[in-house]
Chain A
């Protein structure tokens, strides 16, 4: 039974179609990556999940409840971090965290102090003096201090330094260990790669790819760099090879997933000295999908 189910959702703002029939399904205990470039519809999707915007058509169910009608009931079990955190300039970070935790009802007091320490946040400062990263920390502390079943995070690390990003990743892994579900929108692909079980890619209001990273990788290529003792013949005639670059004593190229075996077999005739192969990064995957489109 899916914890979050988006069914053929369309959202129009006047003439503009922001989302054109998207489908998503997040299972319990899953960390779900939602990636796409700016303006693809990530934040609109999340606002519909939260019942802040109403879908023009289609249905959104969270915990089996309707996202628009039962918003409050749903939100008791959700924690959310917005992408661009805007806070009240004359309230301190500590006040805002307490306020957010109280709005949800359930609070875990010692968790708050622990998180403030881990994220290295000064809660006595006014939010107006915080940098983007610090405002994000306030929202993250409030979210992680909550005992929720589903965490919806909209580009939560875009202002964090690498050290804090690590803390963030630890927090997500802890949630995962506790069997919580996370819906993580991001365009920091290494982060998604590290954390997510499944991924959806959105472009111009449409989901263009969904699956586990493993599944997605099948769709794409492996980068190979090889050095051989015997000089290589012209490789360009081999099937499934792309971006071929030959240099004295070796070559580097990309190869389609299903052609990797035959190509390596062929190369081994020439006495391989060194072989580097990198799985396709999400970045390459992403580029693969977007280059064609532009």
Chain B
């Protein structure tokens, strides 16, 4: 039995050596960000009646679906605000970090044949898996400790030491749970791509279950690890059992993954590979066919995912409506157009979030051009009778169309399920308009990625940072009262908040021209530069 784990520590040191910069960067940004946000709260939310009003707005189901349930609303101190506004978001980021690192050191290394070399040495069968979990366990522990310490030292009203420890503990438990889940998916699938897809799908599902559960039926939230952790009511009641359950869940998933790992062959999965077609379909006859064939699963998966996401949010429209009717405060604040306005606000927020998510698959497609080059597969096309314009044009065109498809899928899902639960929420035409309004912004981002791929291929992944920045400004723009110029640094800052604001054709036209210019520059650069494989 002990033989299974031989040399785990050595391999853990290798993982640390390979990723120390990445891990330290992740940790530093998470820790500094969390503490810095908490430090701004006394200014953002001064004590007094104003905070009471804010507390009331946070019982709005629309916000709850995004941020999680608002605990301690009757004594809404800074701790309660911190847990409500920040915990869920930070948990999701921690989960993403854990998924990426776990898959990278398990299935991805296995796929690249590195584990084979390692396994030929006196190393236990489970040593890679256990070394990965060891490094991530330490990483999550350090994260939890540092965040607890930092928040505790701030010493803000309501942010006591016990609550701060729970905040940090919640992050650690969540991180460990998603690392374990990713480890399990790494056993089931044969490729790292599939393992990532399953892991992120699981994270997305956890988020959605919780969103629907938090607003309507509590039991659904208990099924989601994210929902469960929020039930710890950090800074309010500090219940320990949810964290304990999630932690035990992580241990259980790890054991299960270990067990599956010992039962399978190296480089095999549990989802068996079937023989494929011996001839290509007539469709696969040029760069465009290749892009669609390669990105088929991504595009389909995302389309379904966007539809489900839209539909989930649409399904809580009825709760939003009920809330508006029952809340006296809202009636007083917005005497005339209360109902319409709160629903419209909700719709505006959803449209913005959906559009940023829709940008992800579009970026995936255009950046695939760079990934293919790095994998030395572009030379197959370039050594045959295909122009560079046609190659890049195929990736670019697909990315642009994917953006449209994603926007439609999300908004149609939203509209369909909202119409099912509420009478006449908004017209389909209005919904489609909402989808189209954001397209120029997504296309500008795609254009930027195209420019990077064409002219500065080494920096192509900067496009992800830009999208991350956009997410950050939009998600926290109003919560943290971020200065206006910061949101004007991304194309999303110029898109009108439909349906709250009217459509501005000139803004859209300007964005389209900018997108076209970026793409043209990218194409020109791609034609001229050396291709490295």
Contact = CB atoms under 8 A, between A and B. Distances in A.
Given A54-B530, A100-B380, A94 B277 contact: yes
Interface string A80-93: 10101011111110
Q: What bracket does the count of chain B residues touching chain A fall in? A: 35 or more
Interface in B337-386: 375-386
Nearest to B378: A52
Given A92-B278, A94-B277, A102 B379 contact: no
A82 B379 contact: yes
Contact of B191 (A73, A87, A90, A104): A90
Nearest to B374: A86
A129 B382 CA distance: 25
B216 to A, nearest CB: 39
Nearest to B194: A90
B290 A99 contact: yes
A154 to B, nearest CB: 10
Given A52-B530, A102-B286, A94 B387 contact: no
B273 interface: yes
B483 interface: no
Nearest to A11: B530
Given A90-B191, A103-B385, A125 B275 contact: yes
A71 B390 CA distance: 13
B284 interface: yes
B531 interface: yes
B285 interface: yes
Interface in A33-76: 47, 50-54, 71-73, 75-76
Nearest to B372: A88
Contacts of A76: 385
A246 B255 CA distance: 71
Contact of A123 (B278, B289, B377): B278
Interface in B267-326: 273, 275-281, 284-286, 289-290, 293-294, 297
Contacts of B294: 88, 90-91
A282 interface: no
B65 to A, nearest CB: 36
B203 to A, nearest CB: 23
Contacts of A92: 275-278
Contacts of B380: 82, 87, 100, 139
A294 interface: no
Contact of A52 (B279, B375, B531): B531
B382 A71 contact: yes
A237 interface: no
Contact of A103 (B190, B377, B384): B384
Interface residues of A, number: 41
A71 B527 CA distance: 11
Interface in B234-277: 273, 275-277
Contact of B386 (A89, A97, A98, A103): A103
B interface majority secondary structure: loop
Contacts of A82: 376, 379-380, 383
B279 A47 contact: no
B460 to A, nearest CB: 18
A86 B294 CA distance: 15
Interface string A274-285: 000000000000
A95 interface: yes
Interface string A121-137: 00111101100000000
A124 B275 contact: yes
Contacts of A128: 111, 190-191
A143 B277 CA distance: 20
Interface string B159-184: 00000000000000000000000000
B191 A89 contact: yes
Nearest to B289: A99
A105 interface: yes
A3 B142 CA distance: 65
Contacts of B280: 94-99, 102
A203 B191 CA distance: 40
Contacts of B376: 82, 84, 86
A15 to B, nearest CB: 16
Contacts of A47: 379
A172 interface: no
A84 to B, nearest CB: 7
Contacts of A89: 111, 191
A52 B382 contact: yes
A78 interface: yes
Contacts of A103: 285-286, 381, 384-386
Pick from B191, B383, B386 the residue with the most CB of A within 10 Å. Answer: B383
A125 B381 CA distance: 21
B293 to A, nearest CB: 7
Contacts of A105: 385
Interface in B517-533: 530-531, 533
A71 B391 CA distance: 14
B384 A124 contact: no
B276 A98 contact: no
B191 A50 contact: no
Contacts of B531: 52-53
A80 B383 CA distance: 7
A94 B290 contact: no
B381 to A, nearest CB: 7
B377 A86 contact: yes
Given A87-B377, A88-B294, A51 B382 contact: yes
Interface in B476-533: 530-531, 533
Contacts of A104: 384-385
A91 B386 contact: no
A98 B279 contact: yes
A50 B273 contact: no
Given A91-B293, A99-B284, A99-B285, A124 B276 contact: yes
A18 B277 CA distance: 42
Interface of B: 111, 190-191, 193, 273, 275-281, 284-286, 289-290, 293-294, 297, 375-387, 530-531, 533
8 closest A-B pairs (Cβ-Cβ)? A98-B280, A92-B276, A80-B383, A94-B278, A95-B280, A124-B275, A103-B384, A102-B285
22 contacts: A50-B383, A52-B378, A53-B531, A54-B530, A71-B382, A72-B386, A75-B384, A75-B386, A82-B380, A86-B533, A90-B193, A90-B297, A94-B276, A94-B278, A98-B284, A99-B290, A100-B384, A102-B284, A102-B286, A103-B286, A123-B278, A128-B111
Given A94-B276, A152-B383, 19 more contacts: A50-B383, A54-B530, A72-B387, A75-B386, A80-B379, A86-B375, A86-B377, A90-B193, A91-B294, A94-B277, A94-B278, A96-B280, A99-B284, A102-B284, A102-B286, A103-B285, A123-B278, A124-B276, A126-B273
